[in-house]
Structure formats: structure tokens, C-alpha cells
Structure 1
Amino acid sequence: MKHLLFTERMKMADLVHANYRLLFVLPRFGIQLGFGDKSIGEICRTHGISSSLFLLVCNIYTFDDFLPEADELHSFTAEDLTAYLHQSHEDYIREQIPEIGKQVLSLAGCCAGKNGKILERFFDDYSREVTNHFNYEETVVFPYIHNLSEGKRSDEGYSIGQFEKNHSNIEEKLGDLKNILIKYLPDLCPGGPRNRLLLDLFLLEDDLNKHSLIEDRILVPLVEQLEERMR
């Protein structure tokens, strides 16, 4: 479905008002707040960003049914996309996950020993899974795409179809952690910190879901086009 809400002529500030979750996206493109009344096109040109890729990402974050047109995938490079995805991984690993980890430890310290340990264990397991997921993309998928972009064939018989087939859903484990907070953590544990942690987990879950959609709806078809050219 084609949406026309976000265009280059739109003010960047209006973009944030339209969908506050795009605050996660801006720094991954190197864009900081304080852009006045400049348009999306102006900001993208100033930062050397592909406005087409930026708008595609923003549309996917905003419209659940948004699907890029095939010709839109020719308006930026695979390297542009993997650079954005890499910055997303850095944000999750260095910022969002550690910040939530601090909240988990703080809340666990206020609960009875057993309950606090269960909460910590579930978060540690999730954190490891996320790290392994991103490491695979950084060490296997992105180098493969880089070689394709330079016209080099893979000697290992790897293809983006294997990535798509085994693309794990790293949001699912968050459901277990949320259920502990909602259903099973005794009400003796402080409500304020628990609610704040839950809100951040819901935001992270939604953000990771959009991240996966970007890989499924932009990365995979784009790399499939590169593979077709190599054939």
C-alpha cells in the first residue's frame, strides 16, 4: 500500500509530531533534534542521507501495511541500508538494552530474593539472545551483502534466502519478561518502577518489530535483486 504522508517537503519537526517513535530512528541516521523548520529533504541533504531510504524507514515505522514499491529499492544502495541497520544494532546493544538492564536490576533489588533473581535471569537470557542475533547479522549477513555490492560471489553457497528463512523473532522473549512483571511479580514490589520498566519494554518490543520489518521488507528484496544480477 502506497502512503503519501511523508514527503521530502514535509518539515522534519512535523514528522516527529506525526509519530513520536521516530525519535528512535533519527539518531541512527545521524540526525539530532534542533532542526528548526527545515524540511526532510533539507535535513537529508545536509547529512548526506538518502532521503528515499529515510522516508521508507519512516513509513514502515508508521504504517503497519506499508510495502515499498520495487522501483523504490533502486534509489539507495545496500551499503546505505546496512549502515542504518548497523547503527540500529549499536543503539540496542549500547543504549536501550543496558538502560533497561539498569531498571531490571533496580527493581529486582526491591523484590524478595527469589523473585528478583528470576527477573534478572529472564533479562540476562534475553540480552544474550539479542546480542547473538545481531552478531550473526554483523559477521555473516552484512559482509555477504558488502561482497555482493562489490560484485563478488559467495564461495559458501550462502544466500539472503537463508537469512530470511532463519530470521528469528527476537521480540518473542520479551513477552515472557513482560508477563513476569504483569502477572507473577508480587504486588509487594514497587509499582512505579515496575510500570516504567513495562512501558520501556513495550517501546523496545515495538521498535524491534519495526527493525525486523525493515529487514524483511527492504533488506531481503534489495539483496535478492543484487543476487539476481550476479546470476
Structure 2
Amino acid sequence: MELGCRGHLKAPSNRNLFCSYNSTTTPFLRLAPFKTEEISLDPFILLFHNAIYDNEISYFTKVKRKDMREAHTDNYTTPNEQYRIMQVKVYEGIGDKMDKTLLERVKDISGLSAGNKSELAAGNYGLGSYFPEHSDYRDIKVSPELNETGDRLATILFYLSDVAQGGHTIFPLANVTVQPKKGSALFWFNLHNDGEPNIKSLHGVCPIIEGNRWKPLKLTFKSINAPMPDR
């Protein structure tokens, strides 16, 4: 991850990557297609442009600092870990208009249903903060209780701000680096088609060198009864 944040990753060939207007995932997209950019085929990563709007961004970023807490990866074990991490406000979806609107957009983007309520974490990365590399999947073989709840099939990140310098989302095992762009959404699969974890979905956030970065995080679970998007 450190090499990637310094700009030393060798980007994969983009000969088989395309940009398009997604108008087929749901019927709504026939009227309002999403501008879609393929970032990687393994793991399958897409960037959707203009996926969240200014009024929605304002809703999620009006968070008081006292309401935020430190965020850690799933394998966090001690408060003495030597890294600076983001502050986060978790929104437990209440099914209000904004909640439903964003859930519908997630479905339009991914083809996956997230149910009736969202689980969003609005995170703020201040100057010098970053998030260490981690995987969003938990692996059913290690956590058998996931046979009932399902593992984390895919992740979608909505970028709520531009960053002057730093703050890239990086996939070190895939040699992929994505610069935050306000209003865009980054989507990727954490699992292969057979449900096995894709270790190349390991990702993190580079340190903020100048400015700050906001994002809400949405995790989509395999147990949700939804058709698998083409990939």
C-alpha cells in the first residue's frame, strides 16, 4: 500500500477496459443512464460518475464532530495500533426519503438489492489520516455463521468531496489506484462468482496530504436475494 500511495504501482493494462453509459441494470436507467468507467477486471471495479447529488452530500456531511468516533478494520485488536484513522458517523437506516432514494440508486448502480434500510458510515479523513489496507469479506470458512447471514459480496463507496492531495483508494494487490472525485461512486466485488473471497479486493485509503475527504460507505451482502450483475 505504501508503494501505491507514493505512486510506484504499475497500473494494469487498460486495453480491455471500457467507458459506457449503463442503461440496462434496471428499467430506470433507460431514462437516466449512469456514466460508467471500468477500472479493473480482477477484482471487478467500476466507477460511476455523478452518482450522488449536492443536496444528498450536504445531508451526510452535516455531522457534528462530537457525534463521530474512530473507525477500525474488522481485525482491529488494540487501541495502540500505530496509525491515524478516519472519524466516522454510522447512520442506521430509518427508511426515510433520503434513505430510500440512496438505496434505490445503489440498486440501479449495482443490480443488487440492499433491502429497505441502509447501513451507512459517513467518514471524515482529516489531514494526515488514512485507513489501513483491509478486506471487506470475512470468509465463510473462517466465520461459519456467515452461512446464515452471507458474506460481503460487494462494496460501494460514494465520494462526497474532492481532495487536494492524497486520499486515494488503493488496491495494492491489483495495482489499482482511484482518485476521489466528488459525486462519483466506486463499486467492486469482494467475492468471486463461486462465493470464494477475492484477495485482490484488499484495499485502503492513502494519507490525506492536503484538505480532507468525506465518504459514506455501503456494504452489500451476499445473502440478499438479488440477481448477480454481469461481470
Which category describes the TM-score, using the shorter chain as reference length?
under 0.3
- Which one has a larger percent helix, Structure 1 or Structure 2? 1
TM-score, normalization by structure 1 = 0.23
- Which one has a larger percent strand, Structure 1 or Structure 2? 2
TM-score, normalization by structure 2 = 0.23
Answer with 1 or 2: which has the greater Rg.
1
